[in-house]
Amino acid sequence: MDTRDRFMKLLPWISTPVMLALSLGVWTFLVRVVGVSEFILPAPRAVAESLGALLIDPEIWGHVRITLTEVLAGFAIALLLGVVGGAVLGRLPWLEVAVRPALVAAQVIPKVALIPLFVIWFGFGITSKVVVACILAFFPILLNVLLGVRSVDRGYRDVMRGLGASRWATFRDLELPSTLPHVFAGMEVAIVFSVIGAIVGEYLGGNEGLGYLVVVSLNALDSSKLFAVILLLATMGSVLFFAINGVKRFVIPWHESVTGRDIG
């Protein structure tokens, strides 16, 4: 049992490189043997060279910084609004009932379709992208926090009530820790969404950021650079996600999503 557990822990560290090597192999195979055109699928080597050139270019870091700023600002605002909103709605059932139709409507609307509107309202600068990133990130956080506040275990509540715990102590020792896993679940989804929001925002308007770079490469029909920028974006998304995951492991080490029992 113990060795099996250890094996399960090691497995991703083995399987991930294997999968990477495998996809690289298929990629090379498609280019070399099948002979897919350079334009549709540039060779791994060409992409690596483009990436190298991109990383040396000092301009790239300006773009990275812009996109990162948009993502983080949007995410931070969404986190604040989402946590406060979720906590308030969780406490006031009548308010939740009142705003539920609006919430559902806002959920169902494809928010990406609204981006051109935001560009009109907030201009081609950074603001419109922050707004998009924020709106996309807001809903998963709000809904998770709402769920978290609602789902504080009744039995645990009885424990605190039976001890005559104060309002503040009940929050500190019960409500906060039992809601935190939901906050983190929301944040993990939200960070991915805000990256999407910022990039799509940059696709549609403006002249800076990694999304803009994607559009430029596309217009120049420079597909190896396009691939290189996409790789950069993927890396940025992963780093952000794992940063939040790391914070989660630190803040709620006791939770199942961290101890990994739920994966098996």
Chain positions contacting other proteins, by CB under 8 A: 153, 155-156, 158-159, 161-166, 169, 173-174, 177-178, 252, 254-256, 259, 261
Q: Minimum distance between the CB of residue 156 and other proteins, rounded to whole angstroms?
A: 6
Q: Minimum distance between the CB of residue 171 and other proteins, rounded to whole angstroms?
A: 13
Neighbour count for residue 157 (Cβ, 10 Å)? 15
Q: Minimum distance between the CB of residue 154 and other proteins, rounded to whole angstroms?
A: 9
What does each C-alpha distance from 229 to 16, 50, 54, 78 come to in angstroms?
A: 22, 9, 8, 26
In this structure, are residues 139 and 107 in contact, taking their beta carbons and an 8 Å threshold?
A: yes
- Which structure tokens are listed for 9? 């822990």
Q: Minimum distance between the CB of residue 191 and other proteins, rounded to whole angstroms?
A: 23
State the Cα–Cα distance between residues 251 and 263, nearest whole angstrom. Answer: 20
Residue (of 223, 221, 247, 257) closest to 51 by Cα position: 223
Q: Which is nearer to other proteins, 21 or 97 (CB)?
A: 97
Q: Which is nearer to other proteins, 2 or 34 (CB)?
A: 2
Q: Which is nearer to other proteins, 101 or 162 (CB)?
A: 162
Q: Minimum distance between the CB of residue 93 and other proteins, rounded to whole angstroms?
A: 16
Q: Minimum distance between the CB of residue 264 and other proteins, rounded to whole angstroms?
A: 14
State the Cα–Cα distance between residues 42 and 104, nearest whole angstrom. Answer: 43
Q: Which is nearer to other proteins, 94 or 254 (CB)?
A: 254
Q: Which is nearer to other proteins, 4 or 261 (CB)?
A: 261
Q: Which is nearer to other proteins, 32 or 172 (CB)?
A: 172
164: left (phi over 0), alpha (psi -120 to 50) or beta: left
State the Cα–Cα distance between residues 199 and 205, nearest whole angstrom. Answer: 10
Q: Which residue has the tokens 């822990």?
A: 9
